[in-house]
Amino acid sequence: MKKPMTQEERFVQMIETPVSTLIPRLAVPTIISMLVTAIYNMADTFFVSQIGTSASGAVGVMFSAMAMIQAIGFTLGMGSGNYISRSLGDRNGGDADKSAATAFFTALIIGILITIVGLTFLRPLVFLLGATETIAPYAMDYGIYILIAAPFMMSSFVMNNILRAQGNAMYSMIGITAGGILNMILDPVLIFGFHMGIAGAAVATMVSQMISFGILFYQCNFREGSIRLRLANFTPTWKMYGEILHAGLPSFCRQGLASVATVILNFAAGPFGDSAIAAMSIVSRFMMFINSALIGFGQGFQPVCGFNFGAKRYDRVLEAFWFCVKVAITMLTCCGIIAFAVSRPIITAFRREDMEVIRIGTLALRLQILTLPLQAWVIMVNMLTQSIGYGFRASLVAMGRQGLFLIPSLLILPNICGILGVQLAQPVADVFTFALATFIVVRVLEELKTMREGQKMSEKAGRPDSHAGAQPL
């Protein structure tokens, strides 16, 4: 087995390896992780749906709780990860260690608190989340194990991003993929083989999250070249949390508003019948699957961007950004052409017997496919601004597509255009978000170019490099 890189070797790799080679190398494991996660979530839903309507409703009720757990974990993970990349690029291993430990132990503490409070008030919680009297027993059976898994789920998100931030995406993929595959295996075994019903699905999720946690914890603490998660580095100060939240807030905004928008989408489609709700749900699920690959590619770009920004290699930041834009647009355009051609069979595979679902879903899918290249641009702009610490601008871009523009579109367009307004809402939001992202990134790119020219002038003047004399990590 190849010997793992030391942090110093990783630093050299991140600032010297051609970006056209480095980014795909880091992105492939992340893309696999994202796709596996998307697939096992769909499998989980499929198996539970075989139990009955109330069971399916229970999973839907608890989904909002799981989404909040994941959002907090992802916020802490992305925030610390981006700070870690910049710190390592700046040869500041001490700050990187403190950020990693602070995010991890904070996630663990918050997760334990959620478990305690959630289990104590489980019955009122499920009703608060929208359960009916018939759904509540299933929701409670499912929720017990999901809440027990909260600390493991939340801290796993953090460790996943810590590993990626160091350029150890392969280690991250092992943990996430192993848990996902185990979940898919355990679902039918526990639900049907051991006759555990919906509790079996929750136990499968809990066990898979615990296994992922164990693998990721090992990768962080016992792999050479990885940042150790030591309690001594836990630094719960306002300054440290400010650094983490500054970079992590865009992720929280994106996920939080996406959840709100999903609820509003269901309400907007409701007047046009169950077929409209089902059709838009299928389209959203398929588009999330495509976008998961794009986000995975973008997350391969982030550590390269953060490292080189911290190392003041602004030329490589710009080069990496434009490389990713070209690849992302090309990738989504190709996917879009194929998906557009087979859009009707895609919808039919989910709801073969309902022609109204097929009709509504096919048009909605084709309209959203038309804006896929715009989504590629938006995601890359979001990844760039988030990675270099431009938190406010990154948050605006993150909130645009599924919040700032989608929610008003869903509230206005159906009243004007009927069901076509529901189908058009997401493409319209994509166009406005593209315009916002372009407006923001033009200024950011100008700033990066100014920094690049300033760095070149310093080097020509014979000034010492900002890293001269820095001690290896």
Q: Which of 11-20, 257-266, 410-419 has the highest mean pLDDT?
A: 410-419
418 pLDDT higher than 60: yes
143 pLDDT higher than 50: yes
pLDDT, tens digit, 9 for 90 and up, residues 439-461:
999 998 998 888 888 877 776 77
pLDDT, tens digit, 9 for 90 and up, residues 172-183:
778 888 888 898
Cα distances (Å, whole numbers) of residue 207 to 69, 92, 178: 16, 37, 11
Rounded to the nearest 5 percent, the helix, strand and coil shares of the chain are 85, 0, 15
DSSP state for residue 473 in the 8-state scheme: -
Residue ranges per structural domain of the chain: 18-236, 250-458
DSSP code per residue over 337-366: HHHHHTHHHHHHHH-TT-HHHHHHHHHHHH
Smallest CA-to-CA distance from 311 within 165, 470, 164, 103 is with: 470
Which backbone phi and psi does 389 adopt, to 5 degrees? 90, 15
425 pLDDT higher than 60: yes
Assess contact for 88 and 310: CB atoms under 8 A: yes
Give CA–CA dist 220/100, Å, rounded: 10
Give CA–CA dist 238/240, Å, rounded: 6
pLDDT, tens digit, 9 for 90 and up, residues 298-351:
878 888 888 888 888 888 889 999 999 999 999 899 989 998 999 898 888 766
24-37 as b/e: b if 16+ CB within 10 A: bebbbbbbbbbbbb
State which amino acid sits at residue 299: Q
pTM: 0.71
DSSP code per residue over 222-261: HSTTSPP--GGG----HHHHHHHHHHHHHHHHHHHHHHHH
Q: Which residues contact 12 (CB under 8 A, 6 or more apart)?
A: none
1 pLDDT higher than 50: no
